[in-house]
């Protein structure tokens, strides 16, 4: 009987210790996650602090921002006579552009990656003016260029238009 009691107590002991060790392992993971979360929270606080002084304005739906960008491009084309071929990044045509929306560093703000190809340059083309137009395009819309390159006879502008 005593042997059985000792055996049972040892089994209970092992069960508790095993349970304790499992909890201890989970505790280690949880602690690590807590540290990471705390660091993340500190970063967000810092980010909020850095943005608190920015001017505020009503957000624009991404579809509207995109249309505004296209309209602005057409306006510039009509002024400068330059043809700007706008493509979605990696996709030439798509029925639903919302499927191409991507996350941006701004919470709750989406982005649409675009590629504008301007070709048919001549030696007389004022490249400065074309680049100035791109800057103007950025200023008047929610588009931001990430790369502008000219190779052979193509000027390619890669960028992203932002909206909610």
Partner 1 sequence: MNYLLFNNEIFLSDGINVHRIDKNDNLKDIVEPIEEANICVVDVDIIIAAAMENPVEKKDSLLVRKFKELYQHEAYIIQDERIDDNLFQVIGIKEQRVREVYTFISPEKVESFIPYGIALRNTLINKKVDLNKSIVFVDDFGTERLVTVFDGLKFSRTRVITNNGEDILPEIKRSQIDFFKKNEEHLSKKNTDFVILVNNQALANEIAKYEEKLSIEYFNVPYPALEGLKEVDTLIKYVLPEEILKRRREIEIKKNVVTAVFAIAVTAIGLFYFIITKFEWEHVSHRYDYLKMINERLVEQLRLIDRQTYREDIRRHKILNYGVAYLSVIDLIPPSYEIDSFKFIKSNHWDLEMTLLAESGEIFEPIPKLRILKSADIKDIFVNNQQEKLLRITL
Give the residues lining the site for partner 1 (CB under 8 A).
2, 5-6, 8-10, 12-17, 19-21, 23-24, 26-27, 30-31, 33-34, 37-38, 40-41, 44-45, 47-48, 51-52, 54-60, 104, 106-109, 127-135, 138-139, 142, 144-152, 162, 164
* Residue closer to partner 1 (CB basis): 45 or 74: 45
Angle CA 37–40–43, to nearest 5: 155
Angle CA 153–158–160, to nearest 5: 155
DSSP 124: T
SS (H, E, C) 79-118: HHCCCEEEEECCECCCCCHHHHCEECCCCCCEEEEEEEEE
Minimal distance, residue 99 CB to partner 1, in Å = 21
* Residue closer to partner 1 (CB basis): 93 or 151: 151
* Residue closer to partner 1 (CB basis): 24 or 74: 24
């Amino acid at each position: 009987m005593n042997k059985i009691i000792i055996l049972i107590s040892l089994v209970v002991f092992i069960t508790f210790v095993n349970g304790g060790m499992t909890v201890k392992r989970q505790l280690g993971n949880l602690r690590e996650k807590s540290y990471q979360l705390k660091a993340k929270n500190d970063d967000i606080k810092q980010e909020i602090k850095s943005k608190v002084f920015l001017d505020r304005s009503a957000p624009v739906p991404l579809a509207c921002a995109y249309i505004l960008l296209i309209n602005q491009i057409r306006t510039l084309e009509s002024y400068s006579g330059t043809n700007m071929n706008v493509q979605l990044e990696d996709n030439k045509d798509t029925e639903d552009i919302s499927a191409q929306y991507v996350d941006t560093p701004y919470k709750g703000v989406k982005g649409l990656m675009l590629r504008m190809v301007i070709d048919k340059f001549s030696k007389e083309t004022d490249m400065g003016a074309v680049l100035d137009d791109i800057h103007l395009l950025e200023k008047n819309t929610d588009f931001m260029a990430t790369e502008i390159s000219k190779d052979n006879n193509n000027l390619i502008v890669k960028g992203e238009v932002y909206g909610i």
